[in-house]
Structure 1
């Protein structure tokens, strides 16, 4: 299991500073350039994070919906190791994205945010020969509020998908110190934490505590 920090911030200097502190302390395994951060700062924020954290993987949360090869190429050339395409995108876009990511040595992640039946969509993609390195199960804030879905639902879905399809899974959405112990002992590959780390008065201490609660350290 790996801990990924989601830098869903809009101020590049703040994001880079938090990333540098977390990486220097060995508190995270993956640093994510969140979608708001990429939109605010441009794709070159990925390069800045790679310089700040040369020894961890950088994830670019592109949430690509079209021009799959182009967006994959932009992010990987900027230094990203893991990149995301939406499961709601057309199969053609996902295919272009995966192929270009693999050609350049990157790891594609299919993000199932807004997909009503992630398991059915995964089965469809695999049948089409589209196999990502990761499936991202993302419980968006708006969905949490409107549909009453819980993080526990997300954990159960992730474990089932990993067991049934043999795919590495990453989960995100509302994970904090209270939720982390519920994930401990599962075979989930990546746990993505945002605000519980980035909005903490001491991000390093918060990340280390979540690692401990997850059973990583």
Structure 2
């Protein structure tokens, strides 16, 4: 609530990575004015289903983080409703391994063609990998260390803005059109 007072127009994401009591955690985040909530893809299907239902009921975005999930596609097929956003998240400890997220972006887009689902990528995102991600269909880039640990934060941020200006359509869609109250 205090942050909302300072940054009224910001999108606040409660990165809870919920593993249990999905409904309760969504309610708590909503009470603190979160616009989106994140559940771990490692949670049970029942937890994810309750989490997504409650987020929809309250009119906030439901996000599933696939960190350490072996098959994000199979995980999405195992739940009742798709989330608004799925995060294909590579762990820091796995960043030296080959990056398979691009394969999952394409597979999820193909499997759920016509559905309202956005795909985010996270974990070791640089301007180079950002360009690859966007070319492979990613909708959202979650950038961390490239900016936060940079000696020149301004330049690092501009590096990403340059990629976005080259790779994105000139008039991107409005994510807020996804927001719908269930009840």
Flag whether TM exceeds 0.5 (same fold): yes
The alignment yields a C-alpha RMSD, in angstroms, of 2.0
For 2:41 and 2:58, the matched residues in 1 are separated by 21
Give the TM-score normalised by structure 1. Answer: 0.68
Q: Which runs of 4+ in 1 moved over 6 A?
A: none
Contact 2:45–2:78 under 8 Å retained in 1: no
Paired residues for 1:68-217 under 5 Å? 68-125=22-79, 129-145=80-96, 148-150=97-99, 153-166=100-113, 167-214=117-164, 215-216=167-168
Q: Give the deviation of 1:155 after TM superposition.
A: 2.1
User: 1:70 aligns to what SS in structure 2?
Assistant: helix
For 1:201 and 1:59, the matched residues in 2 are separated by 26
User: 2:119 aligns to what SS in structure 1?
Assistant: strand
User: 1:187 aligns to what SS in structure 2?
Assistant: coil
Contact 2:118–2:139 under 8 Å retained in 1: yes
Distance change (3 Å), C-alpha of 1:80 and 1:205:
farther
Distance change (3 Å), C-alpha of 1:134 and 1:184:
closer
For 1:86 and 1:192, the matched residues in 2 are separated by 16
Gaps of 5+ in 1: 1-46
For 1:156 and 1:180, the matched residues in 2 are separated by 14
Number of aligned residue pairs = 164
Give the TM-score normalised by structure 2. Answer: 0.80
Contact 1:184–1:213 under 8 Å retained in 2: no
1:58 aligns with 2:47: no
Q: Give the deviation of 1:102 after TM superposition.
A: 1.4
Gaps of 5+ in 2: 171-183
